[in-house]
Amino acid sequence: MSRGTGLSADERTVFAGLADLLIPRHGRMPAATEVGAHAELLDSVLAHRPDIVDDLRRGLAAAQGADPGEAANRLSQSDAAAFNAITLAASAAYYMCDEVRTLIGYPGQDKAPFDPRETPAYLTNGMIERLVRRGPIYRPTPDRND
């Protein structure tokens, strides 16, 4: 059992099968379990989203002993909340991995520099003038009395 989530080794094994079905190895991108999406990364996701734990566990129980593809198809039609919890947990854990973020070229959250005294580029690069010259392109809202 994990300290943070209470997921058993069996539940993690079921999750691993589903996660690899959802995020298989492709080209230079590793499969979900190759980056540990079923281990510590899953714990981190569930620590941030404890609201999905019950749905996730229900989905894993329903998928226990079944082929991951068949289980995922069945869950997507019979228990959308459980299916959504599994897919959210798998994708979130995957993209929390430093290796995956490096492979897709995502550096993480960066703060954008902002100088309130600086004139924004869109005011000086001609973008606004083009919109003004083009004129309005909206459709008037119909009058309810018509």
pLDDT tens for each residue of 38-70: 999 999 999 999 999 999 999 999 999 999 999
pTM for the whole structure: 0.74
Domain spans of the chain?
A: 9-103
Q: What percent of the chain has pLDDT over 70?
A: 96
Distance CA 102, CA 30 (A): 12
pLDDT category at 143 given cuts 50, 70, 90 is: confident
Distance CA 85, CA 80 (A): 8
Residues 6+ apart with CB under 8 A from 127: none
Distance CA 17, CA 33 (A): 8
pLDDT tens for each residue of 114-136: 889 999 888 889 888 888 898 88
